Amino acid sequence: MHMLLLSLLAMPARADEDQAETCLRTKIWDGYNTGWAVRTSTKATLNQGGHKVYLVTLYAGNDYKVLACGDSNIGNADIVLYDHTGKQVAIDSSNDREPSLSYTPQATDTYYIAVHASKLNDLTKQGSVATAVTYK
Amino acid sequence: MSMTRSLLPAFAVTSLVFLSLVGCSGEAPVETPTAPVVTPAPAAPEAPPNIAIADLEADAQNVTLVPSPAEMQSAMEKAGIANGLSKLVTERQLKMDVQNKDVVAVRTGVVLADCLLTVKDSPKDKLVERLNVVKLGLNTLGAGKDLPATIDDLTARINNDGISRDDLVKELDEMHGAVIPEIKFEAGDRAVPLIQAGSWLEGSNLVSAAIIAANKPDAGSQLLRQPQVVDYFLKYVQTEGADKAPDAVLKQLEGTLMKLKEIAAKPALSADDVKEVKAQTDSVLALL
């Protein structure tokens, strides 16, 4: 399955997206060893300060971890989780390109995940961030 | 005595300073004491800017919106209603050699959900049969060659006892969550949400059946209230399918989603609501 995922994702992806996805895939499979499973993984290409927002349904009782990997042009990526009213409920603003945050919802509801390219190393290029929602 | 005691340390210090100056004289410049170098602490990383709710709503993408069947199962286990889940899965003979690809996509999603939800305790031949139906569906959808080839590989390993059921769960989970969303490049944009719709409908049907069987109607509010998911599928069926020839399955799917939207809008679900979810999803699945 690893090879299939690689070949499927590699076809339309640019080189930088491949780098971010390879990093994320490693995290996903590391997670399987500790009981985490993957809901969805996706990717985005962003300018400095740019962000992508994903709508996500989270089940009460499940533990969730949102993982992201930036490519080498991402100096700092951040993740923020908002509830359906727009209130921040979890944030990873650590200064690196592999942010993650954990959250256990008290009620099944819809949330927003915002992934930020807070700092790019080379402003003349874009940066790719691959993101996965995992659960257990 | 006290004077001697107090003078001794001062004498010792003076002597040390004198000796050190003599010892260094002419050999190296005398360094004057300097303040220790203080390395500034790294600045705390700036938090990303807050995004207003209106912008979140406007910008949000739906790619991560729909829960996977395995995730649904995990939530059911935590709610104490997952016992005997695989026995609730209905036997279906779903044909994939039909012309309407939307219907094929929904059917593929249903069978994929059945695979995921029964993988741990399904008999080998039944599991292989279901995987083959998923493969046929993906072939009909034009999902490329790699994914069907992977299913062939999995079925071979199942038949040879070359893969544990736990590892199979991971393989199918990743297939559903990470690989199938990518088939939009081959099968078109409509295929992925309709596969998801099939999986979600089957999952919701099983959740409602399990809640009724366990007589735990309170779990309905926790597991079945997903208005945004219903909206997402509904808009797809109504807008994207508007130019398509009417199909009994899609018509029924639209009607079921309308009803589920109405139920999901309630602040809490009653036992009757859960029964209605079961009846509505039954009616779509029966048409497949």
How confident is the model over B138-183, as pLDDT tens digits? 999 988 888 889 899 999 999 999 999 888 988 888 888 777 877 8
Phi-psi region of A66 (alpha: psi -120 to 50; beta: other; left: phi over 0): beta
Q: Is B2 on the interface with A (CB under 8 A)?
A: no
Whether residue B130 is predicted with pLDDT greater than 80 in this model: the reply is: yes
Q: What is the pLDDT of residues A120-133, one digit of tens each?
A: 999 999 999 999 99
Find the domain containing A64 and state its range.
2-135
With contact defined as beta carbons under 8 Å apart, do B206 and B115 qualify?
Answer: no
What is the pLDDT at residue B240? 55
Whether residue B108 is predicted with pLDDT greater than 80 in this model: the reply is: yes
Q: Which residue of B has its CA nearest to A91?
A: B47
Number of domains composing chain A: 1
Q: Helix, strand, coil % (nearest 5) of chain A?
A: 20, 45, 35
Whether residue A14 is predicted with pLDDT greater than 70 in this model: the reply is: no
User: Which residues of chain A neighbour B61 with C-beta distances below 8 Å?
Assistant: 42, 52-55
Q: Where are the alpha helices (DSSP H) in B36-190?
A: 53-59, 69-78, 85-88, 101-118, 124-141, 146-159, 165-174, 184-187
> Smallest CA–CA separation between A50 and chain B, in Å?
10
Distance of CA B270 to the CA centre of its chain: 27
Q: Which is more confidently placed, B190 or B49?
A: B49
Amino acid at B64: T
Instruction: Say how many C-beta atoms besides its own lie within 10 A of residue A95's C-beta.
Output: 16
What is the pLDDT at residue A87? 97
Whether residue A82 is predicted with pLDDT greater than 90 in this model: the reply is: yes
pTM of the model: 0.79
Name the residue among B84, B58, B124 with its Cα closest to residue B209.
B84
Contact at CB, A135 and B170, closer than 8 angstroms: no
What is the DSSP secondary structure assignment for residue B61, as one 8-state letter?
A: B
CATH for A127: 2.60.120.380
**CA–CA gap between residue B280 and residue A81 (Å, rounded):** 33
With contact defined as beta carbons under 8 Å apart, do A43 and A94 qualify?
Answer: no
Share of chain A above pLDDT 70, in %: 89
Q: Is B64 on the interface with A (CB under 8 A)?
A: yes
Name the residue among A57, A73, A67 with its Cα closest to residue A105.
A57
